[in-house]
Amino acid sequence: MKISKSIYLFFIPGLVLYSIFFVFPTLSALFYSFTDWDGISADFNFIGFENYQRAAAGDSIFMKSVGNNLEFMFFVAVFQTLVALVFAIFLVKNTKFNYFLRALFFFPTILSSVSVAFIWAFVYDPNLGILNQLLSLLGLEFLTQNWLGNGDIAIYSLAFTQVWFHAGQMLIIFVAGLHAIPNDLYEAAKIEGASRWQIFKKITWPLLAPSATIVIAYTTIQSFQAFDLVFALTGGGPNYSTEIIATYIYSIAFRGYDFGYASAISVIFMGIIALITYIQFKVLRSNRVSY
């Protein structure tokens, strides 16, 4: 079928909006990353790559925030994908009970990040929080923790909250992916005497690869963008132990009034996300199969 060239005209409104709200701010950030702009004054100076040099060589908090973010991302990507996958496998059949459970698991996704932060601040409170109280009631006092106040575990507490927050969303993607796998393949495998594990390994997982690619890429990006949750729950503390790149950018820009440097870190941040997402796509693409 020949498609008329005039169809491209329909791209214009979207393109204009995209340019205004995405392309222009991105290019602005790139521009300001070469300046010493404080975010308020009309004047600024071009300082070349100074901001980038500072980030690369002389900013221990930036390095720490990158490390924290990677740790957070790794935990979230692995556990969120696993939790969503396991739940999706159990809830794949379209029964009324499964519909209910899917809706229940999806529910946290529709909450705002700040609401989630309030809920979990209450859950994690070491003195009045329900988590420690529940553990004590169950005789598991030795497991009670200062969940957000202990710098060694605070990042994992945040990551767990992030998994709780978004696993339902990924569950739906996996359920859709599972429904797209032809039933004939399972029937054939069963006739051939394949075990459950073999069926999962040879049929389910390879054919779920496109969904998994989306889930993992999306989870990764989300975990880099978890600013509001981290900001509301710990503000990056204690002692920078939960400082992630997004909260650090905020801190530099809006507390330190150093927009030039914050822009440079934002550009680096964008590069990190792009690189990780590219690697993931490459790796997961190589696992794809079709029958």
Partner 1 sequence: MKKWLICFIAFLGMIVLAACADESSQEKQSEDDSASASEGEDTTQLSFIHWRGEDKEVFEDIISQFEEENPNINVEMNIYPSEQYQSNAQQLLRDGSTGDVFTSQPGTQFEAMKEAGLFTDLTDEDFVSKFSEGSLSVGQADGKQLAIPYQMVFNMPVYNKGMFEELGLEVPGSWSEYQEMADTLMENDIIPVVFPGADIGPNQTMNSMMMNNAKDEDIFQKLESGEESLTNEWWVTTLEDFQFFNENGYFQENALGTNQDSAMQMVANEEAAMIATGSYHMATLKELNPDLKLGFLPPITVEEGEVDYEGIHTATFMLAINSNSEKKEEAKKFINFLSEPEIASQYANGTGQHLTVTDVEYESEELQNTAHWITDKNTRFQPRYLITEAAVEEAVLGSIENVLGGASPEEAAKEAQQIVEENID
Quick one: which of 30, 70, 78, 121 contacts partner 1 (CB under 8 A)? Answer: 121
- Residue 58 vs 193, nearer CB to partner 1: 58
Question: Minimal distance in Å, beta carbon 132 to partner 1?
Answer: 9
Our CB check for partner 1 shows the closer of 60 and 290 to be 60
Question: Binding string to partner 1 for residues 196 to 235, with x set by CB under 8 A, is what?
Answer: --------------------------------------xx
150-174 exposure pattern, b = at least 16 Cβ within 10 A, e = fewer: eeeebbbbbbbbbbbbbbbbbbbbb
The number of beta carbons lying within 10 Å of the beta carbon of residue 116 is 21
Residue 98 near partner 1 by CB under 8 A:
no
Residue 3 per-residue DSSP state: P
48: left (phi > 0), else alpha (psi -120 to 50), else beta? left
CB of 236 to partner 1, least distance (A): 8
Give the whole-angstrom CA distance, residue 76 versus residue 68.
12
- Of the pair 52, 240, the CB lying nearest partner 1 is at 240
Nearer to partner 1, 14 or 193 (CB): 14
Minimum CB separation of residue 146 from partner 1 in Å reads: 4
Binding part of the chain for partner 1, among 81-89, 124-132, 207-215, 216-224 by CB under 8 A, reads: 124-132
Strand-pairing partners, residue 46, are 35
User: Residue 149 or 210: which CB sits closer to partner 1?
Assistant: 149
Cβ atoms < 10 Å from Cβ of 5: 7
Q: Whose Cβ is closer to partner 1: residue 55's or residue 267's?
A: 55
For residue 120, how far is the Cα from the chain centroid? 18
Residue 120 near partner 1 by CB under 8 A: no
* The Cα angle at residue 104 between residues 98 and 105, in degrees rounded to 5: 90
Tokens found for residue 216: 């993992």
Among 79, 194, 238, 276, binds partner 1 (CB under 8 A): 238
Min. distance of Cβ 268 from partner 1 in angstroms? 17
> CA 39, CA 85: separation in Å to the nearest integer?
44
Cα–Cα distance measured from residue 162 to residue 225, given in angstroms and rounded to the nearest whole number:
11
Please report whether residue 143 would count as binding partner 1 according to CB under 8 A.
no
Instruction: Give the DSSP letter of residue 94.
Output: -
Applying the rule CB under 8 A, the residues between 46 and 75 that interact with partner 1 are 58-61
- Asked if residue 108 has a cis previous peptide bond (ω within 30° of 0), the answer is no
Applying CB under 8 A, the residues found at the interface with partner 1 are 4, 6-7, 9-10, 13, 38-41, 58-61, 121, 124-128, 146-151, 234-235, 237-241, 250-257
